[in-house]
Amino acid sequence: MKTAIVILNWNGRALLERFLENVVKHSAHLATIYVADNASTDSSVAYCKEHFSEDVKIIQNKENGGYAKGYNDALRHVQADLYVLLNSDVNVEKGWLEPMLSVFENSPSIAVAQPKIKDLKRPTHFEYAGAAGGYIDALGYPYCRGRIFDTCEEDTGQYNDTVDVLWASGACLFIRANQYWEVNGLDEDFFAHQEEIDLCWRIKNKGYRIVAVGNSEVFHLGGATLSSANPQKTFYNFRNTLFAVVKNSPGLKYILRILMRLVLDGIAGAKFLLEGKPKHVWAIIKAHFSFYSHYPSLLKKRKALKQRQHYYQIRSIVFKYFIKNKKSYRDLL
């Protein structure tokens, strides 16, 4: 199975200096490594050419199209059976790749997978972006084994198994090339954030499996492109979850789900206001208006995606977390 690790980079020389050497050291024997540069204005490409000319292939995108378009553009130049979409701020260690490849070699029904994703700043704990595999509730709010909203669990081996999930983290996403292109890749209207959830959801609706692999782990720095304190991240998160629900959830009940989401988003905006974060309130308002402007095109995409499956384990993670005080994944079950 020909494997390609593709690291999307935008003005990330400092991250490449910190993390790329380990990727090469612990992966080059099993995969071809690419750095896909999203029209950086720093010296990222020059650094890679100077220090990794024999070990890393460079793809130079013509523009910064964000995570979604950046990967779509880059992967058109990659010949492989399996893509590994790896963030530039992920640290890998010896033996991380072998268990992941074994899953795909032994299970043809598996199209997407992720390892455990732990916090580089606090290595005993799971990291926000994916933890030990992701799900969404009925309204499209994402949560993970090991992370619900801002609560990240300590890793005590409780998720060392390999299980089916709804989505795998874009921080370290393994995906078969055939299935990636079968659903036309990432939706470029998302630009960044939540786009991997939409991708996985579409693949899941096609009947393929998505798994979290518990005997492999990587360490994610997180917030290297947009931190949680950045209102732009709030904009993408609120808007893009609405995008995904319209496109992928079954039945006409999606309309009711969207209405309920808009109300809950308003409550979230009030919370931001009370916390003295008016820029985040404005980000939610802009997210809603952007959603309204995209709604006609979302309906066209919805009509094109004819297969839809039941997708949620629980109806409301908001209720479970904030009202029932369920702070860990195991408490939800």
Tell me the per-residue pLDDT of 108-130, one tens digit each, with 9 for 90 and over: 999 999 999 999 999 999 999 99
Q: Is pLDDT of 214 > 90?
A: yes
Q: What is the pLDDT of residue 279?
A: 96
Count of C-beta atoms within a 10 Å radius of residue 51:
15
Q: Is pLDDT of 104 > 70?
A: yes
Q: What pLDDT digit, counting tens, does each position of 32-76 carry?
A: 999 999 999 999 999 999 999 999 999 999 999 999 999 999 999
Q: What is the pLDDT of residue 223?
A: 76
pLDDT bucket at 333, cuts 50 / 70 / 90? confident
Q: What is the pLDDT of residue 165?
A: 98
pLDDT bucket at 307, cuts 50 / 70 / 90? confident
Q: Rounded distance, CA 198 to CA 300, Å?
A: 15
Q: Rounded distance, CA 222 to CA 281, Å?
A: 23
Average pLDDT over residues 265-276: 96
Name residue, tokens 């991380």: 96
Could you tell me which of 10, 51, 7, 13 has the C-alpha nearest to residue 32? 7
pLDDT bucket at 225, cuts 50 / 70 / 90? low
Helix (H) and strand (E) counts in the chain: 11, 13
Q: What pLDDT digit, counting tens, does each position of 136-177 carry?
A: 999 999 999 999 999 999 999 999 999 999 999 999 999 999
Could you tell me which of 326, 310, 327 has the C-alpha nearest to residue 138? 310
Q: What is the pLDDT of residue 227?
A: 65
Phi, psi of 313 (to 5 degrees): -90, -40
Our measurement of the distance from residue 252's CA atom to the centroid of its chain's CA atoms, rounded to an integer in Å, reads: 27
Beta bridge partners of 57: 34
Query: Which token pair is 314?
Result: 């629980």
Q: What is the pLDDT of residue 224?
A: 60
Count of C-beta atoms within a 10 Å radius of residue 72:
18
Mean pLDDT score of the chain: 96
Name which residue leads in pLDDT, 90 or 192: 90
pLDDT bucket at 226, cuts 50 / 70 / 90? low
Q: What is the pLDDT of residue 264?
A: 96
Average pLDDT over residues 176-192: 96
Q: Rounded distance, CA 267 to CA 281, Å?
A: 10
Quote the percentage of the chain above a pLDDT of 70: 98
Q: Is pLDDT of 229 > 90?
A: no
